[in-house]
Structure 1
Amino acid sequence: MPDYLKAAFLFRWNLLFFGGGAAAAVLTPLAGVLLPLVVAGELAYLAGLVSVPRFRAAIDAQVHALSSTPAAAPTEPPGSLLDMLGGLPPDARSRFQRLHARCLELRAIAAGVRGAAGDQAGGAEAIRTPGLDRLLWLFLRLLLSKAALDRFLRTMSEQDVSSRLAELRKNLAAAETSGDQRIVRSLQDSIASGELRLDNYGRARKNAEFVSVELDRIEGKIQALAEVAVNRQDPDFLSSQVDSAAESMRQTEKAVSELQHLTGLADQLQEPPPILESDLRQVLRHDA
C-alpha cells in the first residue's frame, strides 16, 4: 500500500494540481475553508487511484523490476552489426536507439509483471527476445535502405531531367526534319537514357515511400505492444503478440531483400543477431 500511495501522490500532474490548489487556498481569505476541501479532494484522488487494479499491477511490476536480480551482462555484438549501425546517418541512428530502448523497456515490464506474480523462472525472458530482435533487425535494415534511397534521390532532380528530355525531343524533331541521321541517332539514345533516369527516379521514390511507411508501422507495433504490456499484465500473451508481429513482417523482409543492391546488405548478416543481448552503448551513444 505505501508504494501505491507514494506513486499516486508523486504523479507529476497530481503534484501540480495539489500544490497549486493548496497555494491558492492559502492565499485567499477563506483559507480555513478551502484548504480542507483541497486536502479532501487529494485523499479522494489517492483512494480512487489506489483502488484501480491496473494501477496496482503496474506499480507491482515497477517495484519488482527495481528489486530483481540484474540481468546478465550484455554480450559483444557482431562486427557487422556495429558497422551497420555506424553507417547510419545521425538522425536514423537516434531513431533506432529510441526503438531499441522501447524494446528493452517492453521486456523489463513483462519481466517485472511475471516476477510480481511469483513466476521467478520467467525473469528477464518473460518476452522471448528473438521476436523483438527480428523486429529491430528489420527496422535497422529499413533504415539503411532509406538512407541509401535518400542519397540517390538527392543526386537527381526530376524537374531538371524532365526539362532536359523535353529539350531533347524538340531537338530530335528538328533533326528529323533536316534529315541528319547521325544527330537523330544520338538524340534518340540521349532520350532513351533520360527516360531510363526518370524511370529509376520514380522507382526509387516509390521504394522510399514504402520504406518510410514500414518504418512507421514497426514503430507503431512496438508502441502498441508496450501498451499491451501495461494493460494486459500477461507476459505469455505478450510473447505471443511479439512473435505474431514479427511474423507479419515477412513481406517487408522480402521487399528489403530486393533492395540489397542499394545497401550492400547481401554481404552482411542475414539472420537477426541477438540485438537486445548485445552491448550497443558505444555506437548508439556516438552522437551524444
Structure 2
Amino acid sequence: MLCSPLETVQKLCARVCVKKPSSQFDFLFTAVMPKGLGFFDYIKAAFSAKPAGMPLSPNWIFVAAAGMLGVLLNPGFLLLGAGLELGYLLTLGNNERFRRVVNSRELASEQVSVQAMLSGLVAKLSPDARERFGRLQSRCKSVLALYQAQLSLDTEVVTRHSESLNRFVWIFLQLLLTRETMQTTFRESRNAPRFQSLLEDEIADLEQRLKRGTASDELRRSLESKRDILKQRLDIYAEAGNKLHYIDAELERIEQQIELLREQAVVSRDSSAISVKIDTVSSSLGETSEWIKEQQNLFGLMQEGSSSAPQILGQRSSAYEG
C-alpha cells in the first residue's frame, strides 16, 4: 500500500537521530510548549506551513512537483525530492522560532475553546450574577493594569499575578454557579419552615405506623426506607441555608479582597509586599476550592474543566498560519 508523502516522511524521521537542543533551548521549549504537543506535531505543522496570505503551502507545491517529475521523467527525482523534503522538515521542525509560532497558534486555538466553555458557563448565570461576575473581571483587569503601569513589574511577575487573579475569578464563577444551582434545587427553602414542618409530620406519622407493628415485613421495610429518605431530605434542607450563607460570605470576601489589592496597587510601591499578599490570599482560597468541589460532586455541576483555572482575564492571539 502506498503511503502519503507525510506518512513516508514521518517514518523516515523516526529513524533519524536529532541533535539534542541546548539547555537554554530546552528551557524555552518547555516554557512555551502546550501540553501534549510533541515532535511529530511540529513536523506536521512544517509540512503544511505557509506564509500569511498564500492559499497553498509552498511545500505542497514542491512535493507535487517532485512527484510529477519522478513519474513523468525520472524516478530519481522521487529520491531527490524525498531527501530534500526530509531535510526541510527536520530543519524547520527543530527550529526554535518555528516552534514558538506553532505553540502560539496552538495556545490561541485552546483559548478559543476555553472562551467558548466560559461563555457557556456564564450564560447559565442569572442577569444579576452575570453583571456581578463582569464587575469582578473588570476590577481584576484594572489591578493587572495598575501592576504594569504603577509598579513597572516585569512580564514574569505580572504573569504570576495574572494566574492568581485568574484563580480568584474562576473560584468566584464557580461559587456563583454553585449558588444558583443550590437555589434552584432548594427553591422551596424560601418556605423552609413550612416544608420542614411537613417533613417532620410525615416522619412522625411513619414512626407511629411502624410502632403499631401491624405492617407486613415488606411494608415495614418500605416504610423504614421512606422514613430514612425523608430524614435525609430534612437534613439537606437544614444545611441549605448555611451553605448559601457560606457562599455569599465567600463571594463578598473575594470582592473585598480584589478591592484591597487594587487600592494597595495604587498607594504602594512595594511590589514584593503585594506579591506576598496575593500569594497569601491565593493560598487561603484553597479551602474554598475544595468545598466547591464537594458541592459540584453533590449536584453534578461542571464535571469537566473545573480542576484548574482557565485564562479568563486575558486572551492570547496569533497571526501565524500553518
TM-score, normalisation: structure 1: 0.60
Q: Which residue of structure 2 lines up, in the alignment, with residue 12 of structure 1?
A: none
Amino acid at match of 1:99: L
Give per-residue Cα distances to partners, 1:186-206, cap 9 Å, x unaligned. 544433222111112223332
Kindly indicate whether residue 149 of structure 2 is the aligned counterpart of residue 112 of structure 1: yes
Shift of 1:207: 2.1
- The partner residue of 2:313 within 264, 276, 283 is 276
Unpaired runs of 5+ in structure 2? 1-107, 317-322
- The partner residue of 1:215 within 243, 246, 251 is 251
Aligned counterparts of 2:151 and 2:209: Cα–Cα separation in 1: 79
Which residues of 2 match residues 57-206 of structure 1 at below 5 A? 76=112, 78=114, 79-115=116-152, 121=154, 125=158, 128-155=161-188, 157-158=191-192, 159-170=194-205, 172-173=207-208, 176-177=211-212, 179-182=213-216, 187-206=223-242
Amino acid at match of 2:237: Y
Aligned counterparts of 1:269 and 1:188: Cα–Cα separation in 2: 38
Alpha carbons 1:112, 1:123 under 8 Å: kept: no
Alpha carbons 2:206, 2:227 under 8 Å: kept: no
Distance 1:77 1:105, change over 3 A: farther
Structure ID, larger Rg: 2
Give per-residue Cα distances to partners, 1:60-86, cap 9 Å, x unaligned. xxxxxxxxxxxxx9x646122222112
Kindly indicate whether residue 288 of structure 2 is the aligned counterpart of residue 255 of structure 1: no
Give per-residue Cα distances to partners, 1:30-85, cap 9 Å, x unaligned. xxxxxxxxxxxxxxxxxxxxxxxxxxxxxxxxxxxxxxxxxxx9x64612222211
3-state SS of paired residue (1:144): helix
Aligned counterparts of 2:169 and 2:306: Cα–Cα separation in 1: 13
Shift of 1:266: 2.1
Aligned counterparts of 1:133 and 1:95: Cα–Cα separation in 2: 16
Unpaired runs of 5+ in structure 1? 1-72, 280-288
Count of aligned pairs? 201
Which residues of 2 match residues 229-248 of structure 1 at below 5 A? 229-248=265-284
Amino acid at match of 1:190: K
Shift of 1:97: 0.7
3-state SS of paired residue (1:267): coil
TM-score, normalisation: structure 2: 0.55
Aligned counterparts of 1:189 and 1:129: Cα–Cα separation in 2: 51
Shift of 1:95: 0.9
Aligned counterparts of 1:216 and 1:155: Cα–Cα separation in 2: 25
Distance 1:233 1:169, change over 3 A: same
Aligned counterparts of 1:213 and 1:236: Cα–Cα separation in 2: 29
Which residues of 2 match residues 6-21 of structure 1 at below 5 A? none
Alpha carbons 2:166, 2:310 under 8 Å: kept: yes
Aligned counterparts of 1:153 and 1:213: Cα–Cα separation in 2: 19
Aligned counterparts of 1:77 and 1:219: Cα–Cα separation in 2: 27
Amino acid at match of 1:180: T
Aligned counterparts of 1:228 and 1:77: Cα–Cα separation in 2: 34
Aligned counterparts of 1:245 and 1:175: Cα–Cα separation in 2: 53
Distance 1:113 1:188, change over 3 A: same
Distance 1:126 1:233, change over 3 A: farther
Aligned counterparts of 2:184 and 2:313: Cα–Cα separation in 1: 29
Amino acid at match of 2:144: R
Amino acid at match of 1:223: E
CA RMSD of aligned residues (A): 3.0
Query: Please, which moves more after superposition, 77-86 or 94-103?
Result: 77-86
Alpha carbons 2:144, 2:158 under 8 Å: kept: yes
Distance 1:162 1:185, change over 3 A: farther
Which residues of 2 match residues 21-36 of structure 1 at below 5 A? none
- The partner residue of 1:265 within 302, 305, 308 is 302
Query: Please, which moves more after superposition, 82-91 or 160-169?
Result: 160-169
Taking only the aligned residue pairs, the percentage that are identical comes to: 27
